[in-house]
Amino acid sequence: MNKQVLRLAIPNIISNLSVPLLGAVDTAVVGHLEHVYYLGAIAVGSIIFDFIFWGFGFLRMGTTGLVAQAFGADNIRETRIILIRVLTVAAVASAFILLLQYPLIELSLIIVNASSEVEEYTRLYYSIRIFAAPATLALFGINGWFLGMQNSTYPMIVTIGLNVFNIALNLLFVLYYGMNVDGVALGSLIASYLGVVVAFVLYKHKYSGAKFELNIKEVLEPVELKKFFFVNRDIFIRTLCLIFSYAFFVAKSAESGDVVLAANTILLQLWYISAYGIDGFAFAAESLVGRFKGSNNIEKLKESIKVTMSWGLGLGIIASLIYALFGASIISIFTDKTEVLEAGLAVLIWTIFAPVINSVCFIWDGVYIGATATPAMRNSMLIATILFFVPVYFVAKPFFGVHALWLSMSLFMIIRGITLSFWARSQIFKPLSIQSE
């Protein structure tokens, strides 16, 4: 089982780490420009796109679980139908995003009370990157499909390719052509469509050989469509809660001034780096749990959970040790502003413990997605957000200042891990019946 987990996890870790690496490069490049508010604009703009794009993250997560179960049941035809279904939903959703782009940015900037300079450059960043919506949502779907087919190598190639394109273009536009946040946005836009090209070339290379006469009735078959949206509805709510927590975090950081916003943005990059690394094992859990759930192999399912949890926690411990030993040096890579560095060091302790705390809920997320036990995921996230994250912040703020944000975020992750662990016995190990052809 260790070999199967590592075969899936290592490509996922490599591809996942390229995502925060991109964010880290953007943060470092913009963080060394003349004005701090450029970094604030990237932070606010990124949170807005997290809401807009990752609100549709179910196109990746829900697809992986459903495809993995069909794959485990040896129903290859159903896997192709799911791919067409998810790409159709992605196309419709991206059309709505583009139609609503102006009210979305206005509402976002009302919610985030940033300085006038941060707001101005956020608008500039947004006005360019919003047109990446069709490519971004399509990539969610096709990468989720690859993972469900037990293929983590192709998502790795797609993600690394996209991020290498993105980094190169961002450096070109910002350092060579003298652009600022507009250069970062333009690089992201172009790289997204290049990523789609890579994904479809890979699909054609390996999977286009099996021909099926599919029709629109199969894609829109009511029972399967209902199941698709039932699973994805819960993931959608869960994802919105997660994005809300980060958006709330950034918004409250912005209220504390550009220096605190810049420092917290840098530390969040370190959270993302450890999270994406651990998510490599969570993605492996999605693929394996879905596969063994589809084949009703409960013993293998339990073993896959135990192994992925152990690896995820181990990686979290390593990340915590790295942040403890080299945290100050890492922060200095992102900025040369003394006031930002000092603000970051003042709350670094929360980032040191974060990878260990967060690893449990990250792996459980992968398990629940693979098992399509999405109502429990949704409920866990709602409890953590509504009953703990927000109330703890407002109670702690008068006493702990900026530390209240980090306290509430840490407790948010702990509660998710506790609730998902508690519900696992009743939610994960029930037999699933999928008929193969």
Could you read off the pLDDT of 230-287 as tens digits, one per residue? Answer: 777 888 888 889 888 888 888 888 888 888 888 898 898 888 888 888 988 998 898 8
State the pLDDT at residue 353. 94
Distance CA 139, CA 155 (A): 9
Between 258-294 and 2-31, two packed helices, what is the crossing angle to 10 degrees? 160
Q: Is 70 exceeded by the pLDDT of residue 180?
A: yes
Distance CA 50, CA 32 (A): 24
State the pLDDT at residue 437. 37
State the pLDDT at residue 435. 37
137 φ, ψ to 5°? Answer: -70, -35
Distance CA 372, CA 367 (A): 8
Amino acid at 163: N
Q: What is the pLDDT of residues 321-355, one digit of tens each?
A: 999 999 889 888 877 788 888 999 999 999 999 99
**H helices, E strands: number in the chain:** 18, 0
pTM of the full structure: 0.74
Which are the contacts of 192, defined by CB distance < 8 A and separation ≥ 6? Answer: 132, 135, 136, 139, 162
Amino acid at 225: L
Separation in Å, CA 72 to CA 51, 76, 79, 292, 348: 33, 9, 10, 6, 44
